[in-house]
Amino acid sequence: MAAGTGNSIIEIAGVTRDFGSFQALKGISADIREGEFFSLLGPSGCGKTTLLRLIAGFDEPTSGTIAIDGRPMADIPANRRPTNMVFQSYAIFPHLDVAENVGYGLKTRRMPRAQIAAEVEKALEMVDLADYGRRAAHELSGGQRQRVALARALVMRPKVVLLDEPLSALDKKLREQMQVELRELQQSIGITFILVTHDQEEALIMSDRIAVMFEGRIAQLASPEELYRHPRTKRVASFIGVMNFLPATFVSRDAAGVTVDVTALGRVTIPPALVPAPLDSATIDTVGVRPEMFTILSDRVEPAERATPGTVTGNSYYGDMTYYTVQLDGGAAPITISMRNTAGRSVLPSGSRVSVGWGAESIVLFE
């Protein structure tokens, strides 16, 4: 998964942005590496779009600095930054056709007309719109508009492409297709992409690294896998995917790991490798378990470190998966368990008595 050279292309240091008394960004620091697909993920109002606009140069930070490719960007306006943006609305110029839209920035650079035509053609081929040059902007579908906006940015050969919720206007099927295509395109050309999105699934699929933002702060910056497996806080855990939260109390901490008493599951020791570094033992009151980290053990013998009895209280059938709600014996609230519908596994009806398998590695500790 790791992409890029490891060199920083964008260095954000202590950036804040105040709008009157409202502080949209409360001190953001992050290094974005050259060639990586970086996502700013968070609910609306978390400041992710504000941060993207600061990078693009449409807005200035109240304090802090942003450097792109080693150059401080203070006082450098948007039209002199090595970034290009794909807008949420796509911002396709309605009075120009597709080729004129894509060639707009090259014309600004006073490139000779023949060369513009060649570059535009290449860019349109890259986004699978080879014969669309003479189409009027209003003749395009949503997905095509998105591609034109992308081609218009790529043709400038920017150091960084900024994408502001580029897929949110598309229907589900097209969105999923574009997620894969965008990712493949980014990897083949090797330009740094920064994506703003509120869709955690989209961020997981596309990114090398994700910065999860809440209320103007980065809550966690990590790879998708790290973020999903080891969310640092309960808030991050519930924002990324589904997480069961189980009440727990701290017992001890030693070379074997951190031992906690978890309601319904019992006493368990989490090995040191899975304990987050800045863990404050005294504040432990909850642990998390992902739905797929539980297994409903079938009659056939399956390996499970530990097993806890419970009763199925509901199920949702998704075709490839079934999501169960299970009330563990001695548990407070029911938990969610996801099971793959593999051969020979039938959907269990409500009321079924089951044995739920799990292990110490299923448990997530929060800071």
Partner 1 sequence: MKRSGRGTSARWLTIYAVAYMVFLYAPVVLLPLFAFNDATVVAFPLSGFTTDWFAALWRTEALVDAVRNSLVVAVAAAVLATTLGASAARAAARYRFPGKGPVMGFIMLPLVLPEIIVAVALLVPIMQLGLSLSLWTVIAGHVLICIPFSIAILSSAFQGLDISLEEASLDLEESRWGTFRRVTLPLVMPGVISSLLICFTISLDEFMIAFFLTGTEVTLPVYIWSQLRFPTKLPSIMALGTLLLALSIVLLVVAEWLRRRAARRQGIEASAIGGLM
**Interface with partner 1 by CB under 8 A: which residues?**
56, 58, 77-80, 83-85, 87-89, 91, 93-95, 104-105, 108-109, 136-139, 152, 156
Nearest to 120 by CA among 86, 159, 152: 152
What is the chain's Cα-based Rg?
24
Beta-strand relationship, 353-358 and 363-365: unpaired
Least distance (Å) between residue 176 CB and partner 1: 25
In angstroms, what is the minimal distance from the CB of 257 to partner 1? 51
Q: Which residue has the tokens 């906006």?
A: 149
What minimum distance in Å lies between the beta carbon of 83 and partner 1? 8
Cα 146 to Cα 2: distance, rounded to the nearest angstrom: 26
Nearest-approach distance from CB 164 to partner 1, in angstroms: 9
Dist. CA 367–CA 350, nearest whole Å? 36
Q: Could you tell me the sign of the dihedral formed by the alpha carbons of 119, 120, 124, 127, in that order?
A: positive
Task: Considering the complex, state which of residue 7 and residue 89 has its C-beta at the smaller distance from partner 1.
Answer: 89
Q: Provide, rounded to whole angstroms, the least separation between the CB of residue 115 and partner 1.
A: 16
Q: What minimum distance in Å lies between the beta carbon of 111 and partner 1? A: 11
**Given the complex with partner 1, which of 107 and 353 has the nearer CB atom?**
107
Closer Cβ to partner 1, 95 or 173, answer by number: 95
Closest CA to 199 of 54, 24, 31, 40: 40
Q: Report d(CA 245, CA 289) in Å as an integer.
A: 7
Which residue number, 88 or 352, has a Cβ lying nearer to partner 1?
A: 88
Whichever of 116 and 265 has its CB closer to partner 1, that residue is 116
Q: Could you tell me the strand order of the sheet in which 266-270 lies? A: 266-270, 257-262, 244-254, 286-289, 363-365
CB closer to partner 1, 88 vs 315: 88
